[in-house]
Structure 1
Amino acid sequence: MKYIKLLPCFFLFLSCSSKTSDENRNINKNQLDIITEHYNITVSVDLSNRLNQKLYPKAVSDTEIINMVAENMFPKILNHKRTMNQLDLFTIGFINKKQINAYNVNTERMSIDFSKFKTQAQRIDYIRNSYQNEKKIFIKEFNKLYDNAVQKPYGSDIWTYFQQGIDDFVVKKEVNSTKTGNRILTNKYRNILILLTDGYIETIFNNKEYDLTAAEIVEFRKKYLQSGEKSLESFLQKNPDFKIRPVTNPLLEDLEILVLELYDRTDTNAGASVHPTDLEIMKVIWTDWLKCSKVKKWELYPKSSNKVETEKIILRFLGV
């Protein structure tokens, strides 16, 4: 994996200089417009029975992933290609908003917003005096949410979340521009959703058009093997009944989705119990669904074997 060299010194962030190197900005062909991208990162967690470690053991827990994202906010993510005026936003999203009241969580504690500062001096003061404490509060509040969900898991309807829950907080489309001399300075957001789920999509409707249950994957495998098809993708296109109905939320066109911790129930200590595996089928159906739903960009990964692997996947997706 190729890494972009990061600014190692804390004081570079604190600098009040407005000088920015050409490699750290996107300049148009007329050398007049400078576009700076800021991160709007939402981490949404499937708080269903997938949290049960006895049923679905994992090497990396959701709490460790959240901690990983929080620890990389500053300086790695915040300082990436910028030394001042960062507008980044980090938030915990809810697939099922009823979980907010059910688990008595404070959503304000699960959001760190660098765009709220009007001046660089305020941002510097926050980094120096408040950030570390707010980061601890961020992690602590998620841990409280997670612990409650383990004791009493709620359903997580991912299809409906994509259709209705992906709103203008998850996807910030506004672009702010200012003119300095003959140059236009533009700030825009790069909207990213990190989705932690096992990949089995279940809804209260129990409708094949909206979910992807273990039973449906078993049926897909059976008919695929009977068909003699050599390609899972080709079989899916010829058998659209196995497809998930596309989402019609236009905001997805400006959203990048990183799906982590897909859990293969056909994976055993001795290896795969059957082929094609649940994971292989899951990836094909998810890919078709996200493509037909016009998601801007996506990547799908199975459960990681260690924290280092997970961190590399996240930072590579972010381009950091």
Structure 2
Amino acid sequence: MMKHICLLIVLIYTLNSCKSDSLENINNTSTLEEEVIKLSPNRPNLNISILIDLSDRINPKKYPNPAMNYFERDLGYIHSIVQSFEWHVRNKRSLKINDHIQLYIDPEPADNDLNEKINSLNITFTKNNAKRELIKRTSTLYDSISNGIYKSAIKDGNYIGSDIWGFFKTNVKDFCIQKDYRNILIILTDGYLYHRDSKLKEKNLSSYLTPQDIRRFKLNKSDWKDRIQNQGFGFIAARNDLEELEVLVLGINPDAKNPYEQDVIIQYWSDWLTKMNVKGFELKTANLPANMDKIIKEYILNKSI
């Protein structure tokens, strides 16, 4: 009996030791990751804007996905974005902190309470308020309010589209660009553009693109690229003065019925952002947040040098 008790004590001690080692490894990994960030010299001030597309692409009934719903992927992307922002601020010298993050929906919601919550996500840290605990609360605040935004939109069910084209035309310069900052606009969208109040067309250029348009323009065949180049398909350039803006598009989700859909969407966006003289851009498909986390953090942190 005494022998069994001794064996049990040894087993419990061993398991606790393994657990402690595992937790220590996790903590060491986190610390190491932050130490690596600390080694990045003279990072610029960040001005991050997040624009979310609340069209029916987030409808879990219309576009179900057994791996993870698309609105949940968005929430995961937002968490990675804001966590990157936190790490950036926490690892700067206090005197150099002057960083900003904000979130936009276009058109703005009719719900006044929701608008107040969105306004609370307009956050600036300077040397006067950059307390460690306050900085660390940023992702918690974003997680909570973003979750409420998506659930409210899904519950309402009135998907009128997202006016991304109109946002570039009217607001992007004023809202998303500040002098002496690294200005990053991160757009969460499936890559299609449509809003009932932004339906412009100039020959084969337009302010919108839907799966139906791609089929109608006969861009669902192997000669899609030739047709775009020879017949001038694409988005109308909303402006041409965005030299101080970087754009990261997350969540591109092409219609699976057309094997060339993703290529067409990326070509449209690439041509559009190039015509608007965007400083740099990357376009990413709707992968799981766990797979996108590293990509997002590397984009925000490793390029902030």
Q: Considering the TM-score relative to the shorter chain, is it more than 0.5?
A: yes
**Match of residue 210 from structure 1:** 207
Letter in 1 for 2:155: Q
Unaligned runs of 5+ in 1: 13-20, 26-35, 174-187, 267-272
Rounded to whole Å, the distance in 2 between the matches of 1:245 and 1:170 is: 20
Compute the RMSD of aligned alpha carbons: 2.7
**Match of residue 64 from structure 1:** 76
**Match of residue 297 from structure 1:** 280
Q: Residue 140 and residue 249 in structure 1: after superposition, are their counterparts in 2 closer, same or farther (change >3 A)? A: farther
| TM-score, scaled relative to structure 1 | 0.71
- Displacement of 1:219 in angstroms is 2.2
**Match of residue 173 from structure 2:** 167
Residue 213 (structure 2) pairs with residue 238 (structure 1): no
**Match of residue 197 from structure 1:** 189
Moved more, 253-262 or 162-171: 162-171
Rounded to whole Å, the distance in 2 between the matches of 1:275 and 1:62 is: 24
Partner SS state of residue 174, structure 2? coil
Rounded to whole Å, the distance in 1 between the matches of 2:282 and 2:250 is: 8
Check whether the contact 2:90–2:132 (CA below 8 A) recurs between aligned residues.
no
Rounded to whole Å, the distance in 1 between the matches of 2:219 and 2:34 is: 54
| TM-score, scaled relative to structure 2 | 0.75
Letter in 1 for 2:165: W
- Percent identity reads 26
Cα deviation per residue 1:29-74 (whole Å; 9 max; x = unaligned)?
xxxxxxx511111111001111112222353522222222223333
Check whether the contact 1:86–1:114 (CA below 8 A) recurs between aligned residues.
yes
Rounded to whole Å, the distance in 2 between the matches of 1:259 and 1:99 is: 26
**Match of residue 244 from structure 2:** 254
Letter in 2 for 1:45: I
Check whether the contact 1:44–1:196 (CA below 8 A) recurs between aligned residues.
yes
Check whether the contact 1:47–1:155 (CA below 8 A) recurs between aligned residues.
yes
- Displacement of 1:100 in angstroms is 5.8
Structure 1 segments, 4+ long, off by >6 Å, are none
**Match of residue 184 from structure 1:** none
- Displacement of 1:87 in angstroms is 1.2
How many residue pairs get aligned? The number is: 258
Q: Which has the larger radius of gyration?
A: 2
**Match of residue 150 from structure 1:** 154
Question: Structure 1 or 2: larger helix share?
Answer: 2
Letter in 2 for 1:248: R
